[in-house]
Structure formats: structure tokens, C-alpha cells
Amino acid sequence: MEENRCEGYTVNRPKPKERRKGTLGLWPIPPIFLGVLLSLFVYRSTRPQMRLAADPPAKFLVGRPDWGAKRREAEQRIARAYWDCAVEVIQWRYSYGSILPPTPPAEFRVDAGTLPKAAAAPESRDYYWQRLRAVWPVAWKEVYGWETGWFFEPLKYSWSRVVKGL
């Protein structure tokens, strides 16, 4: 209680609040900072990537006009098997924008167990390799994928250096 000497009455004033030691009154900054860091991590991890389309282009599946219906259906299955091989194996060996070599690599093959015998023949393999080379530049599409290697690879490298040093 204070007494106001000029007016002659007493005023009830609360004590001023004491500042906590060590907080500096900055409590909203860490959540904001964490939010910004999380946003940057998500932005950097969802970058566009070029991948071969899951379905082959029509130009890859085009058959010859002299083929009958049965042969055309068998060739469609063989073409699909070679395309699946390109999606699963070849796109990881030869990236977007690269030029495919004139001869097929050893990895470009199909399992002839479920396909006609002609599927594993060298002529068939060469034929579909040339078809793949023809559609390679236009068969790609841009997809957004979750890729965190940019963050974790340096950490793995640093950790391996620390472990080697011990």
C-alpha cells in the first residue's frame, strides 16, 4: 500500500512482476524456428525427379502389320516384359538425358519361363533394345518423390569417419 501524499488517500498497487531469470521472454522463438527448419526439410526432400513412365509409350509397343492376332498378343507380353526390365533396372544404370549404347547391356533381359521362347532370343532382345533407344528421350516423366539422401548421406559419411578414427 502506498500513500499518495498529494491527495491524501492510499492506493493498492500490486507489486511489479519479476522477470524470470534465464528465459529472456523469448518463448515463441523456438517453435517458430523448429517450424521453419521442418518446412525447409520437407521442401528440400520433395524435389522433382525424372523417372521412366510405368507404362510403355505406344511407339514401343507397335507391332508389325504382317503379324496375326496370336503373334501380336505374344509380342505385347514380350514388349511389356522388356519395358518392365527397363523401368526396374535400366533407368537406374542410365539416367535421364543419357544416351543408350548401341548394344544392350547384360542386365537387359527377361525371364523366358512365363513368356514365349522367342522372348529370350538375342534377336528379340536386340529388337526391343533398339525400340527402347528410340523412345528413351520421350519416355520420362517428372514425379515428386520423398528423397532424404541429401540430409542423411553426409551424416552417414561423417559417422563412418568418426568410427574409423576410433
Return per-residue pLDDT of the chain as tens, 166 residues.
455 555 656 667 777 777 666 555 556 667 888 899 999 999 888 888 899 999 999 889 877 778 788 888 888 888 999 999 999 999 999 989 999 999 999 999 998 787 877 777 888 899 999 999 999 999 999 988 888 888 888 888 888 888 877 6
d(CA 131, CA 63): 11
Query: Is residue 149 a contact partner of residue 71, using CB atoms and an 8 Å limit?
Result: no
Distances (CA, A) of 121 to 70, 78, 115, 124, 137: 19, 11, 11, 5, 26
The answer to whether position 26 is within a domain reads no
The answer to whether position 36 is within a domain reads no
Domain around 108: 49-144
Q: What is the pLDDT, as a whole number, of residue 121?
A: 84
- What are 9's strand-pairing partners? 4
Q: What is the pLDDT, as a whole number, of residue 40?
A: 92
Strand, coil or helix: what is 59? helix
Task: Say which residue the cell 542423411 belongs to.
Answer: 152
Q: What is the pLDDT, as a whole number, of residue 53?
A: 92
CB atoms within 10 A of CB 112: 15
The answer to whether position 66 is within a domain reads yes
Q: What is the pLDDT, as a whole number, of residue 10?
A: 63
Strand, coil or helix: what is 148? coil
The answer to whether position 122 is within a domain reads yes
The answer to whether position 14 is within a domain reads no
The answer to whether position 13 is within a domain reads no
Q: What is the pLDDT, as a whole number, of residue 26?
A: 56
The answer to whether position 1 is within a domain reads no
Q: What is the pLDDT, as a whole number, of residue 106?
A: 92
Q: What is the pLDDT, as a whole number, of residue 94?
A: 93
* pTM (predicted TM-score): 0.63
Give the 3-state secondary structure of 68-128: CHHHHHHHHHHHHHHHHHHHHHHHHHCCCCCCCCCCCCCCCCCCCCCCCHHHHCHHHHHHH
Total structural domains within the chain = 1
| Among the listed residues 68, 51, 64, the one whose alpha carbon sits nearest the alpha carbon of residue 141 | 51
The answer to whether position 157 is within a domain reads no
